[in-house]
Amino acid sequence: MNVKKFSATSTREALRMVRDALGPDAVILSNRNVNGSVEILALASEDMSSLAAPAVDQRPVAEPALAAFAKARQVEQMHQVQQAQAAGLVQSMAQAERSAPAAIERIAVPHQQPVATNEMSAMMDEIRSMRSMLESQLAELTWTSQAQREPVKSSVLREMLAAGFSASLARFLIEKMPAATTQESGLKWIKSILERNLATIDNENEMIERGGVFALVGPTGVGKTTTTAKLAARCVMRHGPGKLALITTDGYRIGGYEQLRIYGKILGVMVHSVKDQADLKIALDELKGKHTVLIDTVGVSQRDKMVAEQVAMLSGAGSHVKRLLCLSATSTGETLNEVVRAYQGDGLTGCIMTKLDEAATIGSVLDVVIRQKLNLYYVANGQRVPEDLHVANQQYLVDRAFKLKRETAPFQLQDAELPLVMANTARNMNDATLRGVNLG
């Protein structure tokens, strides 16, 4: 057995020396710090093979034990070695990626330039692919190591993911979380940060007392008409039917106007139907004396070009129309993000969470409200008018998010799956929506 010792000022340099001397298949037996230097004991792969698989007629008792010991030492050191190797390769690939365009420019032969350029482009694609793969693997190894060092943070992370919060927001908060001795204290800190960043109105005076023109917008089926009726009932109870007006732009859905007209008839409020921006402007001019005007808009998919037309119609109606976006608590975080971007326009006044009673988890919708810095007005949790509409309460919603997670037990991530999920969040840590989170 020919075990060799290598010493260097860094792990990366020591590994390079091992590769140069014993080849890329060398077996690392130990890796330790000695007087400020890194000392590695390594064995050539052929020597390891002879130990692990001796001849049939030469099998001393000590050799299998030595092979097992060497293998155990190799596994023990693999994590640290892989991190160092991956870090070095990622850095090298980053340098290659930066220098490749310059290499393309230096190709001087005119008739060979298109071919060479194509080859270099293909090589660049391969470098990017390998770099992405290595970054993910390095992030996975790093997260695994961190989870082992800080089990409380790992436990709190699982709680956040089970509650429906995105992996990127969960990781951002977990990395900022102070050292905690118990899961309970860690969760308490997380909840306080979520509550602090969940903007809500203090009371109904924000809307019911001040009045104004409000348009409820959002995709089809999120409960805009029912929510409009609930708000209308609250306004009538506070100011009487003479101070309220209802407008609908829903000329597409069969029965859309009739549904709101029935609610208006029950409340004693006239319902006006408009088709375009000109009609809306005329209607709002006629209703200037009303304390509150509620506009029920047609539901449009967030990917439909009509969303932009609807936003333009409401913005150009003459009066200041405040748009409230209805967000369904049953939708995924990805869908909700897309909805907010589509309906954002020149700015949303706030949002209303609907279908709380139908959602298995509400972490996704709270995640989006926090990231997009929306002002949450109300929460709707049923079909009853006006009982099933409540002013949003931060503490209640955050606490409910973590209590609802028991419904997702079959879908919760296991310890072995966490590194795979968290590795994909490495590139999202610079997301602008995360940088605005208030950590106190």
Residues 350-378, mean pLDDT to the nearest whole number: 93
* Nearest-angstrom CA–CA distance, 30 and 47: 16
AA letter at 347: G
8 forms bridges with which residues in the sheet? Answer: 38
Among 305, 367, 375, 380, smallest CA distance to 332 is for 367
- The number of beta carbons lying within 10 Å of the beta carbon of residue 119 is 13
Confidence at residue 180, expressed as pLDDT on a 0 to 100 scale: 75
Q: Cα–Cα distance between 306 and 299 in angstroms, integer? A: 10
What's the pLDDT tens digit per position in 305-325? 888 888 888 888 777 899 999
Largest CA distance in the chain: 105
The domain locations on the chain are 3-126, 204-392
DSSP designation for 200:
B
Give the fold, CATH level 3, of 204-392: Rossmann fold (3.40.50)
67 has pLDDT over 60 = no
Confidence of residue 423 (pLDDT cuts 50, 70, 90): low
* Span 207-248, pLDDT tens digits: 888 899 999 999 988 999 999 999 999 999 999 999 999 999
Whether pLDDT at 366 is above 80: yes
Work out the number of other CB atoms within 10 angstroms of the CB of residue 132: 13
pTM (2 d.p.) = 0.63
**pLDDT for the residue numbered 108:** 44
Q: What percent of the chain has pLDDT over 90?
A: 29
> Sorting pLDDT into bands at 50, 70 and 90, what band is 369?
very high
On the question of pLDDT at 111 being above 70, the answer is no
Please tell me the distance from the alpha carbon of residue 147 to that of residue 418, in angstroms, as a whole number: 9
The answer to whether residue 95 scores a pLDDT higher than 80 is no
Strands 271-273 and 244-248, sheet pairing: parallel
Closest among 72, 35, 65 to 51, alpha carbons compared = 65
Both tokens of residue 285? 């001019």
* Between residues 132 and 231, the one the model is more confident about: 231
Query: In whole angstroms, what is the distance from residue 148 CA to residue 80 CA?
Result: 14
